Every structure is written in structure tokens, then in C-alpha cells.
Amino acid sequence: MGKKVVIAGGGTGGHLYPGIALAKALRRHDMGIKINFVGTKQGIESKVLPIEGFSLKTIHSSGLTGKKGIIFGA
């Protein structure tokens, strides 16, 4: 059974393009690897990934609502 990788990141290119770079590096190392990206239909990933040759599994997601900053452990 081949290796499988899921890469989540999108919405903006700042999150997507590092994931694409990682996916390309993994493919160079192991051509049999199965790579799936997870993102939304609304994000940049829905336009860029097909051009780059990767599949996209879409999910429903939205930003967090409420206070702008969260302090952990306070």
C-alpha cells in the first residue's frame, strides 16, 4: 500500500503555496505517493491546485467569530 498525505491550507496564497512546495518535494522523493489537499471552494486553492496538478477535497469552513485575540492559559 502506498503512502498517503493530506495537506490542509488555503484561503490565501501564504498558506497554500508552502503546501504545494511540500507536495512537489514529496513527489520528487516518492513518485508513488498519494497527495490530497483539503480546502474550500471559496479559497484560492480551488483555482490554483488544478493548475498545479493536485486534487482538492472540499470542506465547509468559516472563520472564528468573537474576540479578535485569544489568550491561552489566562
DSSP for 5-35 reads EEEE--SSHHHHHHHHHHHHHHHHH-TT-EE
Please tell me the total count of domains within the chain: 1
CA 46 – CA 32 distance, rounded (Å): 24
| Structural domain range at position 31 | 4-58
Question: What confidence tens digit (pLDDT) does each residue in 8-28 have?
Answer: 977 778 889 999 999 999 999
Domain-located, residue 54: yes
Q: How confident is the model at residue 69 (pLDDT cuts 50, 70, 90)?
A: low
Domain-located, residue 69: no
Question: Tell me, what's the pLDDT at 51?
Answer: 96
Question: What confidence tens digit (pLDDT) does each residue in 49-62 have?
Answer: 999 999 999 888 77
Taking the model in full, what pTM does it have?
Answer: 0.77
Domain-located, residue 73: no
CA 45 – CA 2 distance, rounded (Å): 25
Domain-located, residue 49: yes
